[in-house]
Amino acid sequence: MFALTRRVLNKSAAALLVSPSFARAEVGIYPRVIEHSFGRTEVRWTPRRLVTIGYGDEAPFLALGHKPVGIVYSGMFPSGMTPWCEQKFGAQKPELLDGGMIDFEDIARLKPDLIVGVFSQLDAVSYGRLSQIAPTIAYRSGPWRAEWREQTEIAGAILGLDDRARQLIDETERLLRSYGDAYPALKGKSFTFGSYFAGSSRIVVYLPGETRVDWMIEIGMRPSRGVRRLAEAGGGHVSSDASLEDLESVAADLLVMWYEPGARSALESQSLFQMFSPVRQGRYVALDDPTEIWAASWPSVLAIPYAFPGFLPRLADAAKNSERQ
């Protein structure tokens, strides 16, 4: 029998409902019910075989002292784990799962007693299939939409550590604000955060509501005019694109781009990109180091203090060049 179950709520369980606003159940008391996009999942006690299937979902659990038995594989790292999570796992290594698709057989093989997919692609069908394996908790926001606060709140609710999760969120918010104070050249500057995949004639442009954009706003920057225009026309999407012939439409005080192996040289060798004003005027930062890419793309209560101090000085130096134009 599973240690955690989904069932119709009785009055006792309903009293411990953890809603989308995360009105607190009494800390450490079980059963507790987590509400998410696909319904309500009852957690009867602390999970013993937790499997996380969303990018970065494992980080807040590790920060709260709980080690999942299965997590999503983190590409670019030899171990398949981000360094901030690997050091928390220590000798107790998890099974690594494909994050690009849900392999139901691999997940079932791990015999989970709880499955968590917060920053994930879960839909109603895959949620239903996973729920047949073990009780499953999804995002509150939407597929590929959850940010680090949502991940941390849900982890805290599952573990009965709501107050500690709130403390981690508060500490991380203060840390992000302190980064803005430490690098005043970034405050108030406009930015565009994008990516490029070799062979394409367009760059990807990330929009507000996407994890890469939101932390930059939080340290005091603002999306460029072109990014705001794309967001207004985007119908709620969190990414768009711009052709290489029209890059000036997303010009900003600071351009940040992340790259898969080989993509940076493919783009930087093109004259249209070389002529792009942020590139030409030294207001461009390339992220191609795995630690930088993963932290900037999927920030968490572990990734932010671990990796942000390594690349924020480069962003600040590039932003200063906008003051000299």
The answer on pLDDT for 180 being more than 80 is yes
Please tell me whether residue 15 adopts helix, strand or coil conformation: helix
Q: Which residues pair with 254 in a beta bridge?
A: 191
**Six-digit token pair at 165?**
């999760």
Report the CATH number of the 11-165 domain.
3.40.50.1980
Tell me what the mean pLDDT of segment 48-70 comes to: 97
Q: How far, in Å, CA of 245 to CA of 213, rounded? A: 23
Q: pLDDT by residue (tens digit) across 74-93?
A: 989 999 999 999 999 999 99
Residue 41 and residue 49: Cα distance in Å, rounded? 16
pTM given for the model: 0.90
Q: Please give the Cα distance from 41 to 6 (Å, whole number).
A: 5
Contacts (Cβ under 8 Å, ≥6 apart) of 271: none
Longest dimension (CA), the chain: 67
The total number of residues written for the chain in this structure: 325
Provide the b/e sequence for 165-182 (b: ≥16 CB within 10 Å).
bbebbeebeeebeebbee
Q: Which residues contact 49 (CB under 8 A, 6 or more apart)?
A: 69, 110, 111, 112, 113, 114
**pLDDT tens readout for residues 115-158:** 999 999 999 999 999 999 999 999 999 999 999 999 999 999 99
The DSSP H or E segment spanning 110 is none
Fold of 183-324: Rossmann fold (3.40.50)
Question: Does 21 score more than 90 pLDDT?
Answer: no
Domain ranges of the chain: 11-165, 183-324
Residue 4 has pLDDT above 70, yes or no: no
Q: Do domains 11-165 and 183-324 have the same CATH topology?
A: yes
